[in-house]
Amino acid sequence: MSSYKIGLDFGTTNSIISYLTPNGELEAFPYPPPNGEKYVPSFIAYHPDGYTEIGTPARTAAAHDSSVETYGNFKMRLPLKESEFG
C-alpha cells in the first residue's frame, strides 16, 4: 500500500493541498481534478439540499443565491489548540 504525506494550506484568500511524491517531489492536487487549478479560493457554500461547493463555484453561489450558507476567511475560525478539537 502506498502512502503520501500531504500538506494543507488554508490561506485567507486561497487554499492549496499538496503532497510529497514517493520520489520526494512536491506536487499540488489540482481542483477540480484532473486538470484544475492549484490554488482554490478559500470559500465554502452549503446549499439547503445538502450539496456543498468549494472555491469559485461557492463564491458564485454566495453572490447569486441568498439561501446558500457560505463561509469565506474560515481560516480565522480554525482551532488553534488541540484542546479545541471536538
pLDDT tens, position by position, for the chain (86 residues)? 567 788 888 888 888 989 998 888 999 888 877 788 888 888 889 999 999 998 889 989 989 999 999 888 766 666 666 665 55
CATH number for the domain that contains residue 73: 3.30.420.40
* Residue 86, domain member (yes or no): no
Closest CA to 39 of 68, 13, 61, 65: 13
Alpha-carbon distance of 24 to 4, in angstroms, equals 10
Would the pTM of this model clear 0.85, i.e. be above it?
Answer: no
User: Smallest Cα–Cα separation from 70: which of 84, 53, 85?
Assistant: 53
Question: Which residues does residue 40 pair with via DSSP β-bridges, in sequence order?
Answer: 15
Q: Which domain holds residue 21?
A: 5-80
The residue type of 70 is T
The verdict on residue 12 lying in a domain is yes
**85 located within any domain:** no
Please state the separation of Cα 22 from the chain's center in Å.
24
Question: How many domains in the chain?
Answer: 1
